[in-house]
Amino acid sequence: MGGWEGTGGSRVVPGPLWVTGLGAPGAMGGTHTGPSSCAMCWSPPKLALLLSPTWALPGHPGWGCYPQARVGRVPIPTPRSGGAMGCALDLPHTSLYPPFTPDLFAAVEPILPSLQEDDIVVWVLGAGPYPPGVVALQELLDAASEELEPEDVWQPEDMNDTCLYIFTSGTTGLPKAARVSHLKSIMCLSFYELVGASSRDVVYLALPLYHMAGSLLGIVGCIGIGATCVLKEKFSASQFWDDCRAEGVTVFQYIGELCRYLVNQPQRPGEREHGLRLAVGSGLRPDVWRSFLQRFGAIRIVETYGMTEGNVTLFNYTGTPGAVGRSSFIYKLFSPFEIVRYDVTEGAPVRDAAGRCIRVGTGETGLLIAPVTPRTPFLGYAGSRELSEQKLLRGVFAEGDTYFSTGDLMEQDAAQFVRFRDRTGDTYRWKGENVATTEVAEALVAHESLQEATVYGVTVPGHEGRAGMAALVLRPGCRLDGPALYRHVEQLLPPYAWPRFLRLQERLAMTETFKQQKVRLAQEGFDPARVPDPLFLLDETTKAYVPLGPALWEGVLEGRLRI
C-alpha cells in the first residue's frame, strides 16, 4: 500500500485495521486522497490525516489505532482538531495524556508543575521545543514503526470497560464526563452504513470533535465504511455549498441548527448544483426540514436520536419531517424503550397506586426511558455515584427493574412515529398548563420578521409556575412590529402558551454543539436593569408587545399589571 506526506513532511504509510469483536484485519478503501484507508482532509486544505495505521512509538508501547487500549482517559481541549482526534484514537495506555495543539499549550504551561505532580504527561501536537517533561508528539510520529502491535497489547479485557470519556453539552447545568465503552465505540463503526452511506461517499463534518456526534459517529463512522471525511474547522453557511462542490461532498452530518443557518442565508444562484445526496443528524425542526428540501433539492434526510451516555437509539429512515424514529415490535427487540407519563410540576414520572409508571397513550407526550440491562447498559458518569443515580428510575414496571431516564419528552402517533417535544427541564407550567418550548419557538419563527427564537420560562413574583419568555433574532432589515406579532401569536398558540416577555438579541447564545443556552437566559429574567437587550411585554389591553421599561417592570412586580 502506498503512503503520502503527512504534516511536517513525515511519511505516513497505511496499514491494516483490526476491529476488536468484529473479525479480522481489513483495509479501508478511501477514494478522495488515494491511499487505502479512511482519509480525513481539512477544508480549506491544511492537514491530511490517515486513520488506519497501527504505529508503535519508541518507548511508548501500546500505541494502536482503534480501539483505544484499556485506559485511555483522554481530555481533548481543542475544539475541532484533526490531530487531536488522531490522538484520541491512538493513545498509549500507560498514563493520562492530554494532546494539546501548540496554540493552546501556552494556557497549560503555567500549571505544568501541578500536572507533573499528579503524574499527568502532557503531549503537544507539534515538533517543539518544549519544557522538560512535555512530549513533542511529532518526533515520536517520525520515529514510529510501521509494524502492528501484538493484539494482547490493545485488546480490552471487557468490551463494556470504559474506553474514553466524552463530556455532555451542559445545556441544563455543568457538563458531565460520560463513560463510553469499547463496545459502544465499535458499534459507531456501523453508523454510516446503517444510514445508507458507503466507501464511495465524501462526508462533510463541521461539528466539534470532542463530542460524540463529531468524533465517534462522524470520524469513527467514516473509518467503519472507509469513506473520506472532509473536516471544516468552523461551519460557514455562506461557504457551505462552495465547499460541497469543491470537495465533491455527498453526505452532510448535521445538527439541526446548521440546517437552519443554511435556509436563513440569502438565496444564491446554483444552490441546487451540488452532489449532496444524504444529510444525517439530529435536532432538525419540521419547518426547517421542509424549507431545506424545497430550497436545496431532493436530498435524503435521516434524522436520528441518541445520547452520549444513553442506551436507546432511534432512526427515522422514512424521511417523515419532525420524527426522530419509528417504533415497532421488531425494533424494540434491538433498542427497547418506553414513553411514560411525566409530571412537569413535580419533575418526575407519574406513578399509579402500586408505585409503577404509566405508559402514555397514542398522541400523548411523556418521558422517554429505556431499560438498563446487560445488553443495554448505562455506564454512568465519572465522579460521584449520585451523578449517575440521578438518571436512573427504579421499580418502573416491576420490582427490581431499572430504567435510564433520557430527560426528553416524546410523543408517539398512530403510525408509530416518535417525535421529540421538549426537554424535561425546558417545559414549564403556566396557568395550570404544560408549555412545550419547542412548539412555541416553532410558532414564533413562522412570523416573517423572525429568524431565530428560543423560549424558556421565568419566575414572576406573585404568580405560580413560570411565564413564557422568548429571546428573538430579527431577520436582516426587519423590526419588531408589536401589534403584528401579537396577532401572529394569538392565531397560532393557546393563551397559556403566549410568551409574556420578549428579549431582542443580535444572536442567540449557543454551546459548541449548537444547542441553545436557556439556563442563563432564564436566570437573567426580564429586569431592564440587568438585561442589556431591548425587552418587550405582552399587553392584552392594547393587543401588542410593548417596550418593557422600569415603570412597567415595577408594575409587574407590584401586581398592578396583569400577566
The secondary structure of 306-342 as a DSSP string is: --SS-S--EEE-S--TTEEEE--HHHHHHS--EEE-E
Would you write out the chain's pLDDT as a tens digit for each of its 563 residues? 232 222 233 222 222 222 222 222 222 333 333 333 444 455 544 333 333 333 333 443 333 333 222 222 333 333 344 444 444 444 433 334 445 566 677 777 888 888 888 777 777 877 778 888 788 877 777 777 777 777 777 677 888 888 888 888 665 556 788 999 989 988 999 999 999 999 999 999 998 888 889 889 999 999 899 888 888 888 999 999 999 999 999 999 998 889 989 998 999 888 999 999 999 999 898 889 999 999 999 999 999 999 989 999 999 999 999 999 999 999 999 999 999 999 987 889 999 999 999 999 999 999 999 999 999 999 999 888 888 998 999 999 999 999 999 999 999 999 999 999 888 878 888 887 888 898 899 999 999 999 999 999 998 887 878 899 999 999 999 999 999 999 999 999 999 999 999 999 998 877 666 667 787 888 888 988 889 999 999 999 999 999 998 889 888 888 788 77
228 bridge partner residues: 202
Residues 236/241/245/251 CA torsion (nearest 10 deg) = 90
Q: Which fold has domain 4-234?
A: Rossmann fold (3.40.50)
- Chain CA centroid to CA 210, Å: 10
DSSP string, 403-446: EEEEEEEEEE-TT-EEEEEEETTT-EEETTEEE-HHHHHHHHHT
Considering the domain 428-558, what is its CATH architecture?
2-Layer Sandwich (3.30)
Burial 399-427 (b: 16+ CB within 10 A, else e): eeeebbbbbbbbbbeeeebbbbbbbbbbb
- Rounded CA-CA distance 400/484 in Å is 55
Residue (of 214, 211, 256, 213) closest to 231 by Cα position: 214
- Rounded CA-CA distance 493/509 in Å is 25
Residue (of 206, 243, 201, 241) closest to 222 by Cα position: 201
**Statement: the pTM of the whole predicted model exceeds 0.85:** no
With both helix axes pointing from N to C terminus, report the angle between 286-296 and 437-445 in degrees, rounded to the nearest 10. 40
With both helix axes pointing from N to C terminus, report the angle between 286-296 and 256-263 in degrees, rounded to the nearest 10. 50
Residue 116: count other Cβ atoms within 10 Å of its Cβ: 15
With both helix axes pointing from N to C terminus, report the angle between 482-492 and 437-445 in degrees, rounded to the nearest 10. 130
- Domain ranges for the chain: 4-234, 327-423, 428-558
CATH superfamily of 327-423: Luciferase; Domain 3 (2.30.38.10)
- Rounded CA-CA distance 391/377 in Å is 13
- Rounded CA-CA distance 157/496 in Å is 55
